[in-house]
């Protein structure tokens, strides 16, 4: 399957515009770091993350702008999850 693009919904576009206006805010982006416990089953974690991405494909998307400045949702077809 190839990467594809789709138009943003009105809600997605509104959130995107808010992020452009206030990129320092973490209203919609909540970065965090989780240190894993020793002995954690990393293969099981990877399987769970892959399942989550299959159920919530929006996690494989980014917003991009074309040469005209029009924004759209870029959907990555093949996501490889690496647990390091």
What does the DSSP assignment read for 20-59? HH-TT--SS------PPPTT--HHHHHHHHHHHHHH-GGG
What ranges do the domains of the chain cover? 4-75
| pLDDT grade for 79, boundaries at 50, 70 and 90 | confident
Give tens-digit pLDDT for 15-61.
999 999 999 998 888 888 888 889 999 999 999 999 998 899 888 89
Distance between CA 13 and CA 78 in Å, rounded? Answer: 24
Q: Can you state the percent helix, strand and coil of the chain, rounding each to 5?
A: 35, 15, 50
Token representation of residue 64: 């991009």
Q: Is the pLDDT of residue 1 over 80?
A: no
What pLDDT score was predicted for residue 26? 87
In Å, how far from its chain's centre is CA 27?
15
pTM over 0.75? The answer is no
């Amino acid at each position: 399957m190839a990467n594809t693009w789709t138009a943003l919904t009105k809600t997605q576009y509104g959130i995107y515009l808010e992020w452009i206006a206030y990129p320092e805010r973490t209203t919609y982006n909540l970065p965090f770091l989780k240190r894993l416990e020793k002995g954690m089953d990393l293969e099981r974690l990877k399987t769970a993350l892959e399942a989550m991405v299959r159920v919530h494909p929006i996690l494989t998307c980014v917003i991009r702008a074309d040469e005209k400045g029009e924004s759209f949702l870029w959907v990555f077809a093949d996501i490889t999850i690496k647990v390091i």
